[in-house]
Amino acid sequence: MRSILIFISCCVSFGLSAQHTTEVEALQKDMLARLTGQKELFAGKNIYLHQRSKSFERELSATFLFESLLRSGLKSGKHHYRKSNKYIFLDLIFKPVKGVNVYGILPATVPTEEYVIFGAHYDSEPGSPGAIDNATGVALNYAVIRQLSKLKERKVNFMVVFFDQEEDDEIGSREFAKKLKEDGKIVHSVHTSDLVGWDENGNRAVELQSPAPFLEKLYRTEAAALGIPVHITKGASSDNRSFLAEGFPTIAISEEFFKDDSTPYIHTAEDTYSTVDFGYLASVTELVYRVMKKIAADENRE
Amino acid sequence: MRTENKYHYLLYISFIPIVINGFIYLIIGSFFPLLVALILTLTLMYSVNDNLKWKFRAVKYWGILLLLYSLLRICLSVLILIDGSGVEAYIKDQLNSWFHIQTLFFLICGWVLVKKRRML
Ligand SMILES: [Zn+2]
């Protein structure tokens, strides 16, 4: 009798989790299709983006993401920035660098000033639809914040951020990290994701770059529970650089970039929707969600 | 009494873009472009109102500076067009028709001011 009950509960939970995965995949497929020009960006507006590089394309993408966050019930905002060029003499020739980061806040259910920041860059290289680099990162974080919003209890505030201009020396995230510092925000940790849609060897492995020790432990625990292999790499090759520079506890999540199981189409016109491994994306999404859920439940907080 | 002619207006108009650029950067907290613009324009204004010899020389130098500036812009555009790898997307993004119209404006201003400086 007991084994029958266990069998039934297994079936039910498997069914629920499968349904949940399908939901996440559908959500992520839709977001990726819109960001990469497979579908119109805004329903009924006949705008198709084939890259997110020029100023107007990035602005359109930012508006799309802002509206998506609003629709998900988050307190959303745009962080506009303008700054001098990399070399001062260029200021005599070119206009200031400008861009916009988009963020959504999911407040804690208890009073706290502490924030967990997680995000991904939404811009792409010129000429590239930027499906894996980095519409996948955007879709990952979007799905995670939506799942977190369904939790009954969150002991920390969550902020999802979509960064502009990562492809130009991470300008967007640098400006955002500076703003966090200036605003005196209490930051528990920062999680950035870039390139999370390629898994040719089918091992579902992730690379965690320069993680703060307590974050590495958290991710390792959850990855082990999900059977996801983890590789730790050094340095900073994406938006995590900006947050490390400001001294925030940081972790970057990606496919096996240094282990050579990463999209060969990076920064090319072939980085398209059809090359994305949505099963892998959903698997990494589940990992990040479980980590966030752990943090939300006040476990393993420092 | 000095009368204003069309070349005077051209001289004043040639200041406008760099001064506007200076203020744009001032708003975002960078003084450098406005400082450069003020040094150039004030030196020029002072010289233009001084004796004739200095006036012609100053306008000539200003014209040459504008020509060199427009040539620099043309060279940058061409170089980036030939090989833009490693150049930031937001820089490439700015190399549009408005950028080239401005370049043409500086080129024409510089050329006319050098040629017609004695008519000022
Ligand atoms: Zn990227």
State pLDDT tens for residues A52-109. 999 999 999 999 999 999 999 999 999 999 999 988 999 999 999 999 999 999 999 9
**CA A281 to ligand 1 center in whole angstroms:** 15
In this predicted structure, what is the pLDDT of residue B1?
Answer: 41
- Both tokens of residue B11? 């001289």
Q: Are A103 and A158 in contact (CB under 8 A)?
A: no
Q: Are A217 and A295 in contact (CB under 8 A)?
A: no
Is residue B78 situated within a structural domain?
A: yes
Asked if A167 reaches chain B (Cβ–Cβ under 8 Å), the answer is: yes
Is residue B1 situated within a structural domain?
A: no
Is residue B46 situated within a structural domain?
A: yes
Asked if A55 reaches chain B (Cβ–Cβ under 8 Å), the answer is: yes
Q: What would the pLDDT profile of B17-59 be if each residue is shown by its tens digit?
A: 999 999 999 999 999 999 999 998 888 888 777 677 777 888 8
- Taking the C-alpha atoms of residue B73 and residue A202, their distance in angstroms, rounded to an integer, is 50
Alpha-helical regions (H) of A79-212 = 136-148, 171-182
Fold for the domain defined by A2-296: Aminopeptidase (3.40.630)
Q: Tell if the CB–CB gap between B36 and A83 is shorter than 8 Å.
A: no
- Both tokens of residue A18? 């499968």
Q: Are A265 and A271 in contact (CB under 8 A)?
A: yes
The CA distance from A268 to the nearest CA of chain B, in Å, is 13
The CA distance from B93 to the nearest CA of chain A, in Å, is 6
**CA B69 to ligand 1 center in whole angstroms:** 35
Looking at per-residue pLDDT, the higher value among A1 and B66 belongs to: B66
In this predicted structure, what is the pLDDT of residue A26?
Answer: 93
Q: Tell if the CB–CB gap between A96 and B91 is shorter than 8 Å.
A: no
* pLDDT (average), residues B54-72: 89
Is residue B98 situated within a structural domain?
A: yes
Is residue B71 situated within a structural domain?
A: yes
The CA distance from B89 to the nearest CA of chain A, in Å, is 7
Q: Percentage of chain A surpassing pLDDT 90?
A: 89
In this predicted structure, what is the pLDDT of residue A86?
Answer: 87
- Taking the C-alpha atoms of residue A109 and residue A141, their distance in angstroms, rounded to an integer, is 20
Q: Tell if the CB–CB gap between A94 and B94 is shorter than 8 Å.
A: yes
In this predicted structure, what is the pLDDT of residue B116?
Answer: 78
Name the pLDDT band for A299 (thresholds 50, 70, 90): low
Of A150, A187, A286, A166, whose CA–CA distance to A227 is shortest? A286
Beta strand ranges found along A19-107 (DSSP E): 75-83, 97-106
Q: Please determine, for the modelled complex, whether the ipTM score is greater than 0.90.
A: no
* pLDDT (average), residues A15-36: 82
Q: Are A128 and A52 in contact (CB under 8 A)?
A: no
Q: What would the pLDDT profile of A187-218 be if each residue is shown by its tens digit?
A: 999 999 999 999 999 999 999 999 999 999 99
Name the pLDDT band for A1 (thresholds 50, 70, 90): low
Name the pLDDT band for A244 (thresholds 50, 70, 90): very high
Q: Which domain holds residue B93?
A: 6-119
- Both tokens of residue A234? 């050094």
Name the pLDDT band for A16 (thresholds 50, 70, 90): very low
pLDDT above 80: residue A9: no
- Both tokens of residue A6? 């266990």
Is residue B97 situated within a structural domain?
A: yes
In this predicted structure, what is the pLDDT of residue A233?
Answer: 96
Contacts (Cβ under 8 Å, ≥6 apart) of B28:
A82, A83, A84, A96
pLDDT above 80: residue A181: yes
Q: Are A213 and A227 in contact (CB under 8 A)?
A: no
DSSP-derived 3-state class of residue A137: helix
pLDDT above 90: residue A42: yes
CA distances from A137 to A39, A114, A192, A231, A281 (A): 18, 24, 8, 18, 9
Looking at per-residue pLDDT, the higher value among B85 and B81 belongs to: B81
**CA A247 to ligand 1 center in whole angstroms:** 21
pLDDT above 70: residue A241: yes
* pTM for the structure as a whole: 0.88
Q: Tell if the CB–CB gap between A91 and B33 is shorter than 8 Å.
A: yes
In this predicted structure, what is the pLDDT of residue A14?
Answer: 46
Q: Percentage of chain A surpassing pLDDT 70?
A: 92
- Collect contacts of A69-72 with beta carbons under 8 A, ≥24 apart: A69/A102, A69/A103, A69/A104, A69/A142, A69/A145, A69/A160, A70/A104, A72/A104, A72/A142, A72/A145, A72/A146, A72/A149
Our count of domains for chain B comes to 1
Residue type, B44: L
- Taking the C-alpha atoms of residue A40 and residue B65, their distance in angstroms, rounded to an integer, is 48
In this predicted structure, what is the pLDDT of residue B59?
Answer: 86
Looking at per-residue pLDDT, the higher value among B62 and A166 belongs to: A166
Query: Given the structure tokens 């004796």, which residue do they identify?
Result: B51
Return the minimum-mean-pLDDT range out of A92-96, A168-172, A298-302: A298-302
- Both tokens of residue A154? 């969150």
